[in-house]
Amino acid sequence: MFLVRASSFEEALEKFLDLGHRREENYIGSTGHRGAVRFAKIVSLNVLGESAPDGMAVCAVVLPDDGSVVTVDSPLDPESSQPGPSI
């Protein structure tokens, strides 16, 4: 879970897309196999507002596996994400 400061939903979405892409990486695992950290989509995006109190608790929930198989070479399109509020 990440927090960004933005003046609009659209600005926040752009910041999260940039943040997600910057965290992508490729690597070779201990068994010699190629691996990757890939950015698939933004699931939810909540506006906390200016009145969010100091120390406000936020949490993340692991979503159930949808059964899809994603490989290192699977095409992903996080820009097509249409996140809604989780609260």
Range of the domain at 83: 1-87
Predicted confidence at residue 87, as pLDDT, reads: 63
Query: Residues of 56-86 as b/e, b for ≥16 C-beta within 10 angstroms?
Result: eeeeeeeeeeeeeeeeeeeeeeeeebeeeee
The total number of structural domains that make up the chain: 1
pLDDT tens-digit series, residues 16-64? 999 999 999 999 999 999 999 989 889 888 888 777 777 777 777 766 7
